[in-house]
A and B are shown apart, each in its own frame.
Chain A
């Protein structure tokens, strides 16, 4: 507990975005990107907890091969709500809406996003969408899975499909507006000297993400609308009995939902670039390659949707095209991993909590990415498609990688966001717990999937029980690992040492202003007069004595 053992020196800066006003109204009608980020943080944490409860119940239920404490219908509703909530209300907005909202304007030297009111609007849209999903859950849930495959969802399911679909439909507009806001901000509001190749990679990653949000999300909105039209009005679009084509839905759905994976992943990659660089005291190796690999992933990511449909009756030639393009994505992904590792070469590596999360990210992404190549290989996919192998793969990427990055980012910028440190050893411990718990929870699922255990099975053959019990045990450890940060973060708000403006001696505009920042971030207009990640600068060469706030640390800009 290094952080707390350090005596609190100095005091909170006189005025910051948190204490500038205190009324509920000042929060709910705020147009400050930092406050909106905090609003999102609450929303996202709530939905993560909700999705986590469903996951916990599922893992418990799966520890026996037969039905244990729920019926199949209930189980189906649990995995559907887990998926819908985690994908649309946690993973998609997680990093962009919280860390992105908070940091993106500061990192490029702006006072706010380009459209502050639209930013607030997108939070309200997100919450209304979430409300509809909660209503769907309260009315008895939805049992279509998060993928809403037709004609099951449009004709056969008799659960609250409409409420959940409406929730997803509405929340999509929140993504679109956020993406639009980020793009305009990055194009138009960079500080003097902040050229494209001086932008932090976090910003580059959000730029690529925003493109996907803007171009992809409308397609899923249209798709969901079509499901609603068929379900509500009986107009045949997907159900062959009404003259529709069930596979058409899959094309439309994955046209968004595969790029959506990169909406979830790319911002995380941005976070990792920042953390690795800071705690290795090195500029990011291959800056341009990482920046362009984000764009490459965003662009090629739009052309690989058919790899979800190798078994779906899509033509053999289409399968080949999609497989080939999927393989192409492996290259920029590998480039990123190699560059992160090369960044550590000849560095001065400090294993702080954020760095532990970043290293964890690389490890989990390595497994998640390589098993993605396995799934993208045409012949190999036939066996493991729709099995626990797929479940394990996307949990490695989405939960393993993205969630690790989200938590790593929170730990990295928590001092900036709240002005408080947190107990470092506890944070390291919980990062370790998450890593161990994660591997135990999801490695057995690869084996299960390869043995042939299909996904979305409430009951299963007895021979799979041992691996399921292992997985449940891992999930329990993982659960503890997720609860701990919530507890010490809340604790830190009152009891932890106050953070200095730059507790990690990190490079970047956000570390040159006070913690927490003032309402308008900068006093004047900051000027970027050097390359990013200038860790060769004397400013950063002194040994790190973080945590303690000292007066005079704020460079006046």
Chain B
């Protein structure tokens, strides 16, 4: 029985930022607790019955005192709020340059697929000092992807994608837990995150037979389901072109706008009539039940890789510069 150390490992950029706020909290609130406790304890000793220190009450309220001692509380919680919000935005707003890895949770395992098509189960291999974005979904109930050494978790939901990102700073193996109760074997839905040096990682990721990249797998699905028969660049195509769909804002029927992202693509495959692009009819059938979660991930990866047609590119002011150096092949 080895007693655990009292603090977890700090193995990502975010974890290091997290620790700063953690210690600010510990010191400010710890101090507040100790002072409050000491004052209380002092009163109990000093004014205990029989000491003769009793002073008859005079029945006045002290509004100024109430305000005075509320101020430090307000001050500290305001700092905590602002600092905490900054940290939160850091964790959940992904940089576009991050490498995207797909995670699919199901009772009771984690299935992971890398951009080059390599799969693993209950393990996540990542290179050190590289921004990694996880795009996650669940096949059944809600799970939660939790890496204590990175101080990060996010719920993994059925029916939609959630994302988080990190940059590991320490090589080694770290716990991976499911943090949202998901049934019988919830406590066995665990694994490890392996952070490797760049060289080791390249060797690891290219090992194995017949690795087909996610984009290519997505392209095959795209072809198998003949998506291109409607979604093409021709003048009278029945569906909008999907070139450059990712990270671009589209006008919908009814005047709303939607930004092309994983959730939008996913929804449009499963519930095509939910958001119909302006100028097109709602004629697409649903592919619910025909394309599984991993297939959807591959489709997202494929569509993400489609660049805008050069003509379009010239017309449009790009929303975001196209990310560079994100492919790992």
Q: Which residues of A contact B (CB under 8 A)?
A: 72-73, 76, 143, 145, 149, 151-152, 155-157, 239-241, 245-247, 280-283, 285-289, 310-313, 316, 319-320, 323-324, 327, 330-331, 334-335, 337-339, 341-342, 344-351, 359, 362-363, 366-367, 370, 373-374, 377-383, 385-387, 447, 450-452, 454-467, 469, 531, 535-536, 544
Contact = CB atoms under 8 A, between A and B. Distances in A.
B68 to A, nearest CB: 10
Contact of B21 (A151, A287, A373, A379): A379
Interface in B68-82: 69-70, 73-74, 77-78, 80-81
A320 B86 CA distance: 10
A383 B90 CA distance: 14
A383 B70 CA distance: 29
Given A156-B141, A289-B66, A452-B8, A362 B40 contact: yes
B59 interface: yes
B141 A382 contact: no
Nearest to B32: A370
A489 to B, nearest CB: 25
List of 9 A-B pairs having minimum Cβ-Cβ separation, nearest first: A379-B87, A452-B148, A240-B159, A377-B84, A378-B88, A457-B187, A346-B55, A383-B151, A327-B77
Given A151-B158, A385-B179, A451 B148 contact: yes
Contact of B54 (A149, A348, A379, A447): A348
B35 to A, nearest CB: 11
Contact of A152 (B32, B36, B87, B142): B142
Given A349-B43, A359-B40, A379-B91, A451 B21 contact: no
17 contacts: A246-B159, A286-B66, A288-B61, A319-B88, A331-B70, A334-B73, A348-B48, A349-B48, A351-B48, A374-B25, A380-B18, A385-B153, A385-B179, A456-B186, A456-B187, A462-B2, A463-B2
Given A240-B159, A335-B66, A447-B6, A380 B178 contact: no
Q: Is the interface of A mostly helix, strand, loop or mixed?
A: helix
Given A331-B74, A351-B48, A346 B141 contact: no
Given A378-B88, A531-B59, A145 B78 contact: no
Contacts of B153: 311, 382-383, 385-386
Contacts of A313: 154-155, 157, 160, 162
Given A280-B47, A286-B65, A452-B148, 15 more contacts: A149-B142, A152-B182, A156-B183, A240-B159, A246-B159, A283-B59, A289-B61, A311-B144, A323-B88, A342-B65, A346-B47, A367-B33, A451-B7, A452-B177, A463-B4
A362 B36 CA distance: 10
Interface string B187-203: 11010000000000000
B247 interface: no
A72 B107 CA distance: 14
A377 B185 contact: no
B152 interface: yes
Nearest to A466: B3
A390 to B, nearest CB: 10
Interface of B: 1-8, 17-18, 21-22, 25, 29, 32-33, 36-37, 39-40, 43-44, 47-49, 53-59, 61-62, 65-66, 69-70, 73-74, 77-78, 80-81, 83-93, 107, 140-142, 144, 146, 148-149, 151-155, 157-160, 162, 175, 177-188, 190
Q: Which of A282, A283, A348, A544 has the most CB of B within 10 A?
A: A348
Contact of A382 (B86, B152, B181): B152
A335 B70 contact: yes
A157 B84 contact: no
B57 A460 contact: no
Contact of B70 (A72, A145, A334, A378): A334
Contact of A316 (B66, B92, B181): B92
A76 B183 CA distance: 8
Given A246-B158, A370-B29, A383-B148, A152 B85 contact: no
B183 A310 contact: no
B47 A349 contact: yes
A466 B183 contact: no
Contacts of B78: 327
Given A247-B157, A338-B69, A454-B178, A286 B62 contact: yes
A345 B84 contact: no
B4 A466 contact: yes
A535 B57 contact: yes
A58 to B, nearest CB: 13
Contacts of A241: 158-159
B184 A143 contact: yes
B146 A454 contact: yes
A112 to B, nearest CB: 32
B191 to A, nearest CB: 12
Contacts of A145: 181
B183 A380 contact: no
B85 A379 contact: yes
Nearest to B22: A380
Given A341-B43, A344-B40, A374-B29, A454 B141 contact: no
B187 A72 contact: yes
Contacts of B185: 72
B252 to A, nearest CB: 20
B184 A73 contact: yes
Given A379-B88, A462-B2, A466-B3, A386 B146 contact: yes
B4 A464 contact: yes
Contacts of B83: 377, 379
A138 B190 CA distance: 31
B290 to A, nearest CB: 14
A378 B84 contact: yes
A458 B183 contact: no
A347 B47 contact: yes
A366 B178 CA distance: 31
Contacts of B81: 323-324, 327, 377-378
A143 B142 contact: no
A345 to B, nearest CB: 6
A331 B73 contact: yes
A331 B90 CA distance: 27
Given A324-B81, A461-B175, A451 B61 contact: no
A460 B179 CA distance: 12
Nearest to B152: A382
B155 A311 contact: yes
Nearest to A541: B56
Contacts of A310: 88
Given A366-B36, A386-B146, A456-B186, A312 B155 contact: yes
A385 B144 CA distance: 10
A452 B25 CA distance: 18
Contacts of B90: 379
A341 B141 CA distance: 47
A469 B89 CA distance: 37
Contacts of B44: 344, 349, 351, 359
Given A351-B44, A367-B33, A380-B87, A156 B107 contact: yes
Given A377-B80, A454-B179, A350 B49 contact: yes
